[in-house]
Amino acid sequence: MSQIATQEKIFHAALQLLSDSSYLQVPMRDIAGAVGINVSSIYNHYPSKEALLEALYAYYDKQQRAAQPDMAELLLLAETQPPHTVLMRVDYRYGPEVQENMDRILLIAAQQPSHPRSIRFVKEHLLDLPYKTIAPLLERMIELGRIEPLDIGAFCSLLSFLSFGTATLNNTSCRIGSDQWSTILRMLFSLVVCKL
């Protein structure tokens, strides 16, 4: 097995085990066992469990950056396009395999309420993200008189909770598919009242 293939297997085993249990409850020997390698071998790829956790977070960061919409373009579209159409373009949904990984990483981070890096991760990727994407669009649309004023903070919090709930459900047999997610988003965005 090549170095890269082994590292990938370790990554996926950690993703599975850490999201099914918790970071503190899964020793490196369990991850090595799931891959079928000696525990000492795992350290050739990841010098510590903390480094493995950072690799998971780096993967999430990379995937999210790649999917992030061009906010300047969306703000321009907010001036002419139907508000709900523009809001739906801020849909952080990934391909099926990537989506599962993203959901699992979010759960891993959320299961560690006292781990400083995980706290920052959850804040940045779950709690703050709607304020960086949806909030500017809503503010601009209100400013242009295209939608009725609304509590943007409450709306962003609702979107964060919805995203986390979906990630949690996706780690059970009650998976939310991309079509269902789009329907949920449309329902949420229906709370935004467009002016005629």
The pLDDT, as a whole number, for residue 91 is 81
Cα-Cα-Cα-Cα torsion 154, 102, 57, 111, nearest 10 degrees, comes to: 70
> Which residue(s) pair with 74 in the sheet?
none
pLDDT in tens, the chain (196 residues): 576 789 999 999 999 999 998 888 999 999 999 999 999 999 999 999 999 999 999 999 999 998 888 999 999 999 999 999 999 999 877 887 799 999 999 999 998 878 888 999 999 988 899 999 999 999 999 999 999 999 999 999 999 999 889 888 888 888 888 889 889 999 999 999 998 6
Helix, strand, coil content of the chain in percent (nearest 5): 70, 0, 30
Q: Centre a 10 Å sphere on the Cβ of residue 49 and count the other Cβ atoms it contains.
A: 18
DSSP 8-state secondary structure symbol assigned to residue 172 = S
The model's pTM is 0.88
The pLDDT, as a whole number, for residue 1 is 58
- Residue carrying the six token digits 């990938």: 8
- Residue carrying the six token digits 């990483």: 105
